[in-house]
Amino acid sequence: MNKIYSTSILFGALALSLTKATAQQNLTLYNMPMVQQSQYANPAIRPEARLNIGALPGLTSNYLNFANSGFTLSQVVREENGKTKIDLNNMLNKLGKKNILSLTGEVDLLSFGFKQKQNYWSFSVIEKVDTRMMYRKDLFSFLILGNAHKDNLGETLNLGINADANAYTEVGLGFNRIIKEDKLIVGGKLKVLFGQGNLYTKRANATIKTDKDSLDITVASDVAVYSSNIRDTKSLFKNKGLGLDLGAQYNITPKIKVSASVIDLGFIHWKTNTISAISDNPNAKATFKGIDISQYFLSATSTDTATVQNGIQKNLDSLVKEFNITVDTTSKKAYNSPLFTKMYLGGNYQLNKWSNASLLLYGQLYAKGIRPAVTLGYNVAAKHWLRFSLTYSMLNRSFANIGAGLSINLGGLQWHIVSDNVLGMVVYDRYKSGGNSYIAPSIAKTLNIRFGFNLAIGRKPQDRDKDGIVNNKDECPDTFGPLEFNGCPDKDGDKVPDKIDACPDVAGLKAFKGCPDTDADGIEDSKDACPTEAGDKAFNGCPDTDKDGIQDSKDKCPKLAGLAQFEGCPDTDKDGIEDSKDECPTVAGIAKYNGCPDTDGDGLADAKDLCPTEAGPLENKGCPYKDKDGDGLLDKDDKCPDVAGPKENNGCPLTDKDGDGVLDKDDECPTVAGPADNKGCPKLAKEETEVLNAAFSNLEFETGKDVIKETSFDELDNLAKLLVKKPTWKLKMSGHTDNQGVAKANLDLSKRRAAAVKKFLASKGIADNRLISEGFGQTKPVGDNKTPEGRQRNRRVEMKVIFE
């Protein structure tokens, strides 16, 4: 019995050491977009090749994952003194409260995908086996220590095991699209599922409690387990289901990308050969106080073995009846089982043109919880044909997961091999049992591998920034730039590429590493205190326009050379008085006279001395008193200093050019003799005056126009006849208006009306040079514009005879 017990424990430990909590995790593959199977982790991933084909079942892509979150083989089995020892207590210590087992396998039967402008279409047929089991530490504590152990007495131990398995064929149609170039890609995959076999644990609660005092055992159970399988090819497509994958990628910046996906949303509807085992009374409990088994043992003389068998069966039947477990193998009721949904959230940072660092958060929904993982990655595009990734993962209470992925393209053939834990594949120990030795993984909780071949056609060299220069020759692969600078940009167009341009947004000079010298004074703007004005190095690039050795910003007279004592302002006459305070800046003077001289020394500054070179009294403004013509008016005030004349005529003699006895100053007609009572002008005869007054009084125009009414023609004819008789006369006609209307229009009307009279007289033979017309508009009223009578008087054309 001990031998059987030890062998069972060893087998169980080996099985557990080869399994793990998560399935189809693809933590390393997620960041290998050159492999089309990376879309299995995120349908928004775009393979690099234009056309990808995998059509060789067993070679295209194969995936295997064994793992266990509880313990490793080395924690249970060890060599000691040449013998194999099983340390069950250490195994028990390494277990978590809940532990997950899984076994997953995948084989691609067919897969292909192709790009169509902004779209990528894919199709796949995959055979999948996905199994897992959740077991509790309580179960192993019960098996190893027993229910009467001090750690278990009085404790409620949950012995329930959740076991689930799916075997199915997945037919998927995938699609992703670039929503915004170099920014956003979204994708999805719709999957039709054909189930082949299933074990689904909906509920699996089984508890046991041993009383500390009485050792009575109380047991409770609530079970709901379903299964289905295909026994013939006719049932191959009867168990159908649907699945959905969703994903997205978004470039926050050319260097930072985030992505997310949800994989295996869905279910399978099972109909063929279904079996169920369900507790009808989930609240049932049973307490065992002990059984008298003597009644079941044979007496020394008895040969009836059926008595013992029937007694044991009776107690078993009683136990089943107590918990009301119904096992249905005949009704074939259909049921749904969910897929094992997985979630990814990733981020990438582009380190340089050929590598990036990645962070991936992973979670899988199972047994009413999320089983997490965190992966750090370093992904390298070493060559156009060579890619590799290195990862470190923390998952399921394991921190020893070193992953690696390799993709090699030889022509159109792409080979890939990926593992989330290389240690699990390469670190083994040798164990002995029954005279035989075995090699098995010892320290790993994960055995994980994907490998295969694809045809990858139309893989153009990568050019992330779309500048026509492939990444491995582009010194700035994430930023558009010309060939002249090996793909690096020159935003400011100064022929200095941005990567070495200290001022990439402002055009500058190579001498200053691309920074500007706006004023072209040989001093870089960043070091130039006056960057927009050419200046001198002595003044940190600021100007000294007048070259007086004083910087303009400190020079009160920046355009005039000056002296430091006057803050750069000049003293032109060098009299020690600043020009701005010197009233005579170009002539040396004295401070008493604000810099002005006193040439004649008469105590009056030249500027105020009317005779600056001749001394004179202050009361005579510095001039000596002189009156050459003796008319009592100083020469300086005498307009005729050499001819005596009265003061009222400014020292000039009075004249009478026309000899009419009226001095020219009082003579309105100084060249034509006339009586004094007519201001020196000739008098008109009565008849002449009447003709002139009649023409004035009877002159009328059309309202608002310069058209003379016919009623005025006779008097104007008489006036013309008079002018013919007086060929020496000239006639001035002055037009006036009232203030009604616009002043400008009135001025124009007055001019036109005077001109109309002139035109009329000229038409009667009067020479044009004898006629003068002018207009004053409303500026010279003779009547009150507030009354109709006054306005009537103001509307007139005055006529005046001029004698010459």
Relative orientation angle of helices 713-725 and 686-697, to the nearest 10 degrees:
140
Sign of the Cα pseudo-torsion (634, 637, 641, 645, in order)? negative
| pLDDT(649) > 60 | yes
**pLDDT (0 to 100) of residue 304:** 53
* In 27-69, beta strands by DSSP E: 51-54, 62-68
| pLDDT(703) > 90 | no
Tokens of 368: 């009413």
Pick 776 or 292 by higher pLDDT: 776
The residues, any chain, with a CB within 8 Å of residue 207's CB and separated by 6 or more, are: 156, 157, 158, 159, 160, 219, 220, 221
Sign of the Cα pseudo-torsion (329, 333, 334, 337, in order)? negative
List C-alpha distances in Å: 600 to 593, 597, 607, 624: 14, 9, 12, 12
**pLDDT (0 to 100) of residue 104:** 92
Pick 432 or 786 by higher pLDDT: 786
pLDDT tens column, 310-345: 655 666 666 666 667 788 888 889 999 999 999 999
DSSP, collapsed to helix, strand or coil, labels residue 454 as strand
Pick 512 or 772 by higher pLDDT: 772
**pLDDT (0 to 100) of residue 436:** 66
Question: What is the pLDDT confidence band of residue 102, given thresholds at 50, 70 and 90?
Answer: confident
Q: What counts of helices (H) and strands (E) characterise the chain?
A: 9, 28
* Residue whose structure tokens are 């017309």: 773
Question: What is the pLDDT confidence band of residue 547, given thresholds at 50, 70 and 90?
Answer: confident
Exposure letters 225-251 (e unless 16+ CB within 10 A, then b)? bbbbbbeeeebeebbebebbbbbbbbb
* In 117-239, beta strands by DSSP E: 119-136, 156-158, 162-180, 184-210, 217-229
Tokens of 16: 């557990």
> DSSP label at 306?
H
Cα–Cα dist 215/145, whole Å: 15
246-257: average pLDDT:
95
* Residue whose structure tokens are 């000039």: 652
**Structural domains of the chain ordered from first start:** 2-284+324-457 (2.40.160), 685-803 (3.30.1330.60)
Return the closest-CA partner of residue 375 out of 388, 387, 362, 385.
362
503-529: average pLDDT:
81
Question: What is the pLDDT confidence band of residue 248, given thresholds at 50, 70 and 90?
Answer: very high
List C-alpha distances in Å: 676 to 151, 661, 802: 155, 7, 17
| pLDDT(440) > 80 | no
**pLDDT (0 to 100) of residue 17:** 35
**pLDDT (0 to 100) of residue 22:** 43
Q: What percent of the chain has pLDDT over 70?
A: 89
Return the closest-CA partner of residue 443 out of 421, 428, 430.
428
pLDDT tens column, 456-509: 988 766 667 777 777 777 778 878 878 777 878 888 888 888 888 888 888 878
The residues, any chain, with a CB within 8 Å of residue 183's CB and separated by 6 or more, are: 250, 251
211-239: average pLDDT:
83
On the CB side of 178, CA atoms within 13 Å amount to 13
Phi and psi dihedrals of 724, rounded to 5? -65, -40
Pick 230 or 503 by higher pLDDT: 503
**pLDDT (0 to 100) of residue 206:** 87
Model confidence, pTM: 0.56
> CA-based Rg of the chain, rounded to a whole angstrom?
60
**pLDDT (0 to 100) of residue 20:** 36
Cα–Cα dist 279/140, whole Å: 24
The residues, any chain, with a CB within 8 Å of residue 136's CB and separated by 6 or more, are: 97, 98, 99, 158, 159, 160, 161
Cα–Cα dist 79/92, whole Å: 19
Question: What is the pLDDT confidence band of residue 430, given thresholds at 50, 70 and 90?
Answer: low
| pLDDT(160) > 90 | no
Cα–Cα dist 488/478, whole Å: 9
> Length of the chain in residues, anyone?
804
Cα–Cα dist 628/622, whole Å: 18
List C-alpha distances in Å: 330 to 276, 531, 780: 10, 95, 131
Question: What is the pLDDT confidence band of residue 757, given thresholds at 50, 70 and 90?
Answer: very high
Return the closest-CA partner of residue 557 out of 565, 547, 569, 548.
569
The residues, any chain, with a CB within 8 Å of residue 302's CB and separated by 6 or more, are: none
Q: What is the mean pLDDT of the chain?
A: 83
Query: Do residues 88 and 75 touch, judged by C-beta distance below 8 A?
Result: no
Q: Count other C-beta atoms under 10 Å from residue 741's C-beta.
A: 13
Q: Count other C-beta atoms under 10 Å from residue 204's C-beta.
A: 21
**pLDDT (0 to 100) of residue 7:** 31
| pLDDT(542) > 50 | yes
Cα–Cα dist 175/179, whole Å: 12
Return the closest-CA partner of residue 485 out of 506, 465, 474.
474
Q: Which helix (H) or strand (E) holds 320?
A: helix 306-323
Query: Do residues 57 and 109 touch, judged by C-beta distance below 8 A?
Result: yes
pLDDT tens column, 683-696: 888 898 899 898 88
Cα–Cα dist 30/16, whole Å: 27
DSSP, collapsed to helix, strand or coil, labels residue 755 as helix
> DSSP label at 91?
H
Specify burial of residue 363 (Cβ count, 10 A radius: 0-12, 13-18, 19+): middle
**pLDDT (0 to 100) of residue 218:** 84
Q: Count other C-beta atoms under 10 Å from residue 569's C-beta.
A: 21
| pLDDT(24) > 80 | no
Cα–Cα dist 294/459, whole Å: 81
List C-alpha distances in Å: 758 to 704, 779, 800: 18, 21, 13
Q: Strand pairing of 342-352 and 256-270? A: antiparallel
DSSP-assigned letters across all residues of 545-588: TT-SSS-GGG-SSTTS--BGGGTTB--TT-SSS-GGG-SSTTS-
Min mean pLDDT across 130-144, 238-252, 513-527, 789-803 is at: 513-527
**pLDDT (0 to 100) of residue 21:** 38
**pLDDT (0 to 100) of residue 12:** 38
Cα–Cα dist 654/631, whole Å: 13
| pLDDT(419) > 90 | yes
DSSP-assigned letters across all residues of 665-726: TT-SSTTS---GGGTTSPPPPHHHHHHHHHHHHT--B-TTSSPBPGGGHHHHHHHHHHHHH-
DSSP-assigned letters across all residues of 115-145: EETTEEEEEEEEEEEEEEEEEEHHHHHHHHH
Query: Do residues 623 and 614 touch, judged by C-beta distance below 8 A?
Result: yes
**pLDDT (0 to 100) of residue 706:** 92
Question: What is the pLDDT confidence band of residue 18, given thresholds at 50, 70 and 90?
Answer: very low
Dihedral angle, C-alpha 461, 464, 470, 476, nearest 10 °: -150
154-180: average pLDDT:
92
409: left (phi over 0), alpha (psi -120 to 50) or beta: beta
Beta-bridged to residue 153, according to DSSP, are none
Q: Identify residue 161 by its one-letter amino acid code.
A: I
The residues, any chain, with a CB within 8 Å of residue 786's CB and separated by 6 or more, are: none
Cα–Cα dist 635/625, whole Å: 8
Beta-bridged to residue 431, according to DSSP, are 438
Min mean pLDDT across 49-63, 232-246, 378-392, 593-607 is at: 593-607
Phi and psi dihedrals of 60, rounded to 5? -60, -60
